[in-house]
Structure 1
């Protein structure tokens, strides 16, 4: 079974409230070898948040009710890399953890960057599972391997530039492979040397610190995110790659990015990665014709 970890826990509630019933009631539309491993996200401007800022308006209780209805693991994206001791007492973030810890049917996860936050949460909420964030931008394979070997983490998301390092990936043990969660559809410039600064800028924004706007230096930045462009990225993982390369090698966890991209693009990702081609039109019709959903 292949597990996809999907974006937009708080950002795309309306979309998932339509998609998840479809996924359950018309399982024949979707590949029988794929499952939803988790849905991840964070409320807008969450102090501990990282990766994206300003997205995610849905009420946490409503979100958790939906995840419980479909027994899906919710993951809180708390990957701020610049947290200090005084930030650990943030009431909003602690209340979220308390709710997801006590009320989630499926085990909840936390995506973290900061070891300070990891140690705090691990001691306070020992039954969470933890995911090492791709915002660490670990591009050295031996460093990545050491991260995978850390007992604190159930999953580690490598920098997308390690996605095709097959020689080294093949050499991992099966236990290590089970912990690797590949980021499939990154559109960031493969040659970017400023990725860590980009994530740190988001972390500062979530902390409310004044700063200059981060300027992306990608040669294609003016186009914005386009799935067609992401497919040309050397680190892109196609559905064929998953079936023919990663699965035979022993990998089973794949992350789809897109918390800031809008629900119309999320639909395209789920059609591409999870839906049988002959049923794309059926899924589109069900989604488009739902009067309660306004794709954007």
Structure 2
């Protein structure tokens, strides 16, 4: 990424492999019509992993778009690509996986724009640092670091450029105030999590996804949240105590010295991803313009 501006919010967007067709239309719109979008925000990266990716974790990958085309698109706009390799259950024998290594070889040499890897496993981290030193690394929220001192220790690790805390620490302002400037630079807040704030099974949920990606049995994880059957709803995420909205980003977090914000949504549909892009990045008076450029025309029928 080019030199960062302190008064700018950098969004890390979901769906590197899943939503190529959306970003193929949205990115030129974002950079050619900046008047549509807030001048205090920019794109820090787009993250994701292909379907059936052994090292994947956090959410099961759904995308299968051509990796070279994806890389070319992001290179055109100088956007960092991040491979989501946050599987927490990797063993030594998994490190030789051909598909994952081929992806690393391709994305490590992705041009002038440095790319990254979101990682959980220290075993994988050590392997990637040795084999693919061109990457930067992001500590995954799948570690579920809910104790602030544990999180502080993670931030202090030189291995990571960024660390994504558990969303339940988002409003721990008294603790955030204790961080130094360089520590704040490394914090990447997860903004729009819909998970139940009182969940105690979050780590087990991620482990179930990791196990599934490895093709191992162990049973499905059944969410015990009171309203789990409703699935992801942006309106529900907005009501979450950990939700970070645009007003808070601009008027609270940026003045505090925090500039990195992650938007989740890899396992969702592109229509909902567009709603995130509209809400977090697009001026209200231009949201219709963006919809019209992307999909809305006078012959569109919803039903």
For Structure 1 versus Structure 2, the TM-score category normalised by the shorter chain is: over 0.9
- Counterpart for residue 282 of structure 1: 289
Give the one of 22, 33, 45 matched to 1:26. Answer: 33
Matches within 5 A, 1:47-196: 47-196=54-203
Contact 2:55-2:90 at 8 Å conserved across structures: yes
Normalised to the residue count of structure 1, the TM-score between the two structures is 0.97
- Counterpart for residue 11 of structure 1: 18
In 1, the alpha carbon distance for the partners of 2:112 and 2:256 equals 32
Could you list the structure 1 runs, at least 4 aligned residues long, displaced by more than 3 angstroms after superposition. Answer: none
In 1, the alpha carbon distance for the partners of 2:153 and 2:61 equals 32
Offset, 1:170 = 1.1
Offset, 1:61 = 1.0
Matches within 5 A, 1:212-227: 212-227=219-234
Contact 2:61-2:266 at 8 Å conserved across structures: no
1:55–1:104 distance in 2 versus 1, CA, 3 Å: farther
2:255 matches 1:248: yes
In 1, the alpha carbon distance for the partners of 2:63 and 2:106 equals 17
Offset, 1:18 = 0.5
Aligned length: 292
Name the stretch that deviates more: 7-16 or 119-128: 119-128
Give the one of 207, 215, 218 matched to 1:208. Answer: 215
In 2, the alpha carbon distance for the partners of 1:47 and 1:68 equals 25
- Structure 1, unpaired ranges of 5+: none
Offset, 1:65 = 1.1
Offset, 1:133 = 0.0
Offset, 1:205 = 0.5
SS at match of 1:177: helix
SS at match of 2:171: coil
Normalised to the residue count of structure 2, the TM-score between the two structures is 0.94
Contact 2:81-2:116 at 8 Å conserved across structures: yes
Offset, 1:284 = 0.9
Contact 2:155-2:187 at 8 Å conserved across structures: yes
In 2, the alpha carbon distance for the partners of 1:162 and 1:184 equals 11
In 1, the alpha carbon distance for the partners of 2:207 and 2:127 equals 21
Offset, 1:38 = 0.1
In 2, the alpha carbon distance for the partners of 1:51 and 1:105 equals 28
Superposed CA deviations along residues 20-48 of structure 1, whole A, max 9, x for unmatched, are: 01001111000111110000000001000
Offset, 1:54 = 4.0
- Counterpart for residue 272 of structure 1: 279
Contact 2:109-2:134 at 8 Å conserved across structures: no
C-alpha RMSD of the superposition: 1.3
In 2, the alpha carbon distance for the partners of 1:266 and 1:54 equals 15
